Structure 1
Amino acid sequence: MNKVDPLPLSGDAMHRTPSSVGEGPPRQKRALPGPGDWILSTLSTLVLAFVLWRVLSWAVVNGVFGTTPQSCSDATGACWSVIRARWRIILFGLYPMEEQWRSAIASVIAVCTLALACMPRMWSAARMVPVWLGGYLLFLLFIHGGVFGLDVVTSSRWGGLTLTLLIYITVIAFGLPVAIGLALLRQSRYPVFRHLTAFIVDVTRSLPLLTILFSATVIIPLMLPHVLQGDKLVRSLVGFTFFFACYQSEIVRGGLQAVGRGQVEASQALGMSYWHTTSLITLPQAFRIAMPATINQFVITFKETSLVIIVGLFDLMASAQAAYHSGEWSAYHTEVYVFVALIYFIGSFSLSKYGKYVEKRFQTLR
């Protein structure tokens, strides 16, 4: 057998340390900003400062905060007098003036119900159901009346921010359970349920929300007797809720599919039933996985409540239009829409910050 001589090694290779053998290419040092970067940053800062100053000058420095249209006749900035004079119709719509305290209390109840439902200690069916049910019943008690000496106010008089909050909490409270049911049926072992649910969800998701609302308020009553037609607000809520449930069901189904199959098999080996496995193992993990998409859907739904104006409901956007449609305030529609946009921004921003909080909490619990 021929003897194989070892390969000769250079001096550098002989003195190379083991830690340097597997090193990749040297990391590039972070380059210092050049003159072009400084110029671009300076110009961007100046433009941003100019825009911010123009906005502050229009809204605050030159803004007018009187109570009459005459105080805004010579104004060069925003006329916030329209908000001071017309805030009631923006927030409460056509609700009777002497009963608007009930609409205000109902709005506070809706916000408090949402806040309680967002608390981690309430994340169980035994606590969540009483919170939503109690808050919803109290809301309807104050806004509708008919008990405890409160005058009855029909749904045709409801409007403004109160109606927007009613639509939102109704869609969320009833849409989430329906979404969970649709997601579970979509994964059923029975082909009939699985395919039928898939067909219903796909058809609903292929239609715009405006089509759903228009069908619920205009087309469906034409096919039903007068006794079964119901209230226009109720029909809109049913259509909006089912539309939300179909979208949310796909989010929940994605979370269910991300749960490891081994955990389900382990629970079956321990003798756990399907419902125990679903409620204690798969659904909690699915919601944890799908929480970012769920919060995003909540934000989208909150902004989509403005679409009910198309079917004649007097929501926040419709109230805003009514606030400046009077002759003396018709020139100050920009201020009204800025005020309404601020309300939508506060709601959407709060939901986004809550989603970030929940995401960090889940990362801590891992």
Structure 2
Amino acid sequence: MTKTYRAPTLWDRIRADYFSSRLNTALTLTFGAFVIWVLWNLANWGLIHAVWSAENRDLCGHGGEGACWAVIDARWRLIMFGLYPFEEQWRSAIACCALVLVGILSCVPWFWNARRISILWVAGFATFYVLMRGGVFGLTPVFEQNWGGLSLTLFIFAAVSLLGMPLAIVFALLRRSELPWIARTMGVIIDTIRSLPLLSIMFTFAIVLPFVLPGWMIGDKLYRVIVGYALFFACYQAEIIRGGMQALPAGQEEAAKALGMSYVHRIAYIVLPQAFRNALPPTINQFVITFKETSLVVIIGFFEILASGHAAFGTSEWNFAHVEVYAFVALIYFVFVFALSRYGAYLERRTAIAAR
């Protein structure tokens, strides 16, 4: 008599993974108890005994049992908007929302078209810049040195990504050129820039470059830093894209040549789509790293969200609340980075299904 197959239940999988032997059971119970203890202490500190309102600031202090979230209630404007003028901070808030909305809409498949995505990003960036910079439509001018907080972090990240990705594609194509002098020269440039720390590149573009450029080319320090960061991003991303190209079977491009397809059509319709699919995981990782490393601009005088957080507890009134401020800033970073990683996982599943 044949036995009918029964799919394993959730409890069957848990028992097989964590309680398959006495040692595994002991380790599972010990680690589970430790996790429960950690979570209980975090909940006790961050929720149960926490002080939430700035009106109860007197309950906070070095000897308090819980977190002092009152510092966030009192200083959240400084953390989110930095040095932006107080009465104009609504513009910075709307600009951030506009840029986040553009990022969300970019994830919708309907916008995965060169014309649509270009229009979306041009419109979104123009809206962001007009709101932040002002000087038109009756808006008070606010110069770049007064930008700060989350809006500056998002602006640097988006600008670096928009400039760096097309540049990375060009670099990758030049490095795989059939002309040796082009490929080797591009290889030297990419390897040289990749061997330098990002901070040194930022410092060079922000401080050193104005001494060797004519006055009309200097521009604002913020834009010079963005160009340097985009160049750094492009060199790393070019190697990622080139790796995706090398994973393609050579016969595909040869078949396209035999069919009489031009170089542009071969690259646009055959090579790049498959290369990006092959290089999707490291590409998402590169975007995550780029977002987190925007905090380095604080070294050269920009008031991004991490610097704004540091200023929030930099007074005698709140100097004990640095843990709470850093936890709040970390939560903001986590939201954006986790969203990027989850979207990358969705794209991997979608491309895997499409490739079947």
Q: Cα deviations across residues 163-213 of structure 1 (Å, max 9, x unaligned)?
A: 000001001111110000000001111222211111110000001111111
1:149 aligns with 2:143: no
**Residue from 86, 89, 103 that aligns with 2:92:** 103
Q: Is the 8 A contact 2:237 2:286 kept in 1?
A: yes
| Residues 18 and 28 in structure 2, CA contact (< 8 A), matched pair in contact too | no
Q: Equivalents in 2 of 1:58, 1:276: separation in Å? A: 59
Task: Give 2:338's aligned residue.
Answer: 349
Q: Deviations over 1:119-146 (max 9, x none)?
A: 2222221222111111111110100011
Whether contact under 8 Å (1:252, 1:290) holds in the other structure is yes
TM-score by length of 1: 0.90
Q: Within 2, Cα distance between the matches of 1:34 and 1:255?
A: 43
Confirm or deny: 8 A CA contact 2:19 2:28 kept in the other structure.
no
1:293 corresponds in structure 2 to 282
Distance in 2 between the 1:34 and 1:265 partners?
A: 56
* Residue in 1 that maps onto 2:176: 187
Aligned to 1:241: 230
Shift of 1:261: 1.3
One-letter amino acid of the structure 2 residue matched with residue 135 of structure 1:
G
Corresponding position: 1:70 with 2:63: no
TM-score by length of 2: 0.92
What is the CA distance between 1:283 and its match in structure 2? 0.6
Retained in 1: the 8 A contact 2:79–2:308?
yes
User: How far apart, CA to CA, are the structure 1 residues paired with 2:60 and 2:222?
Assistant: 38
1:254-300 CA distance string (max 9 Å, x none): 11111111111111111110001110111111111111111111111
Gaps of 5+ in 2: 1-15
Partner of 1:17: none
Pick aligned residue for 1:113 from 102, 109, 122: 102
**Alignment coverage as a number of residue pairs:** 338
Query: SS where residue 303 of structure 2 aligns?
Result: coil
In the other structure, the counterpart of 1:175 is 164
How far 1:223 sits from its partner (Å)? 2.2
The Cα offsets for residues 38-71 of structure 1, whole Å up to 9 and x where unpaired, read as 2111110111100010111000001001214323
CA contact (8 A) 1:324 1:332 kept: yes
Cα offset, 1:326, TM superposition: 1.5
State the identity %. 49
Q: Is 1:232 equivalent to 2:221 in the alignment? A: yes
SS in 2 for 1:189: coil
Q: Does 1:359 align with 2:348?
A: yes
Is residue 55 of structure 1 aligned with residue 29 of structure 2?
A: no
Contact 1:64–1:75 (CA<8 Å) still a contact in 2?
no
* Cα root mean square deviation, aligned: 1.6
